[in-house]
Amino acid sequence: MHNDPSEFEAIIERHSSEKQYLIPILQDIQSQFNYLPPVALATVSKQLDIPMIDIISVASFYNAFSLTPRGEHVVTVCMGTACHVRGGPKILEEFERRLKVPAGGTTENKQFTLETVACLGCCAIGPVVVVDGDYYAQQTIGKVESVLKKYASKEKNNGKPREN
């Protein structure tokens, strides 16, 4: 489970070991490993000469970072104002019921992580849901099952956004 510091040293090298690159380095680790493994944080702390407590405070402050492993697929439900008035919270509740996890949680089989986002800026086509970078416009409670099915059966649509 990602215990080899050299993996992370390579990422740090792509930037520089100056303190100001802490966030871009953590972003790269997050995007490659889907979370920030403990060994990664220790490696970054050592290489950038930043105390662990400061690293943790940055990692826990920004929403982009996760300190626990996330699921294979990340479902993000938009909680923006426009989505809210068009029923976004009801869509989230339906995902919570179907996946049996609260927002922020990961299913037991590690297949899905359910997240919320403050606003995706796609307000005209809300409520919006994004799964692994694919956008789903104008979601309804009734469409939730079919969105999940696409990923549960591992049928990917080659990363292309599609209407639902």
Partner 1 sequence: MASHAKINSAEELKKTVDHHTALRAADDRVTLTVSAGTCGQARGSLDVIASLENAIQEKGLQEKVRVKVTGCHGFCEAEPNIIIQPQDLFYQHVTTKDAEAIIQETVLKDQAVETLLYKDPVNGQTASKESEIPFYTKQNRLVLGDNALIDPTDIREYFSIGGYLSLAKSLSDMTPEDVIETITASGLRGRGGAGFPTGKKWDFTRKSKGDVKYIICNADEGDPGAYMDRSLLEGNPHRMLEGMIIGGYAIGASEGYVYIREEYPLALKNITRAVEQAHEAGLLGENILGSGFSFNVKVYKGAGAFVCGEETALMQSIEGKVGVPRQRPPFPAVKGLWKKPTNINNVETWANVPLILDRGSDWYAQIGTESSKGTKIFSLVGKINNTGLVEVPMGITLREIIYDIGGGIPDGREFKAVQTGGPSGGCLPKEKLDLPIDYQSLMQAGSIMGSGGMIVMDDKTCMVDVAKYFLNFLRDESCGKCLSCREGTQRMWEIVRNITEGQGKEGDLVLLETLAHAVKDASMCGLGQTAANPVLSTLRYFNDEYLAHIKDKKCPAGVCKDLVEYFIIPDKCTGCMVCARVCPQDAITGEKQQVHILDQEKCIKCGACYEACKFDAILVE
Nearest to 76 by CA among 103, 102, 107: 103
Q: Which is nearer to partner 1, 62 or 108 (CB)?
A: 62
E strand intervals along 2-161: 73-78, 112-117, 129-131, 134-136
Q: Give whichever of 137 and 152 is closer to partner 1, judged by the CB atom.
A: 137
Among the residue ranges 2-10, 20-28, 34-42, 99-107, the one whose residues contact partner 1 (CB under 8 A)? 20-28
Is residue 27 close enough to count as binding partner 1 by CB under 8 A?
Answer: yes
Residues 123-152 that bind partner 1 (CB under 8 A): 123-126, 128, 133, 135-137, 140-142
Site for partner 1 in 63-102 (CB under 8 A): 63-65, 79-82, 84-87, 90, 93-94, 97
Q: Could you tell me which of 15, 33, 34, 35 has the C-alpha nearest to residue 25?
A: 15
Collect all residues with Cβ–Cβ distance below 8 Å to 124 and sequence separation of at least 6: 82
The DSSP symbol for 106 reads B
State the residues that interact with partner 1 by CB under 8 A.
19-24, 26-27, 57-58, 61-65, 79-82, 84-87, 90, 93-94, 97, 117-126, 128, 133, 135-137, 140-142, 160-163
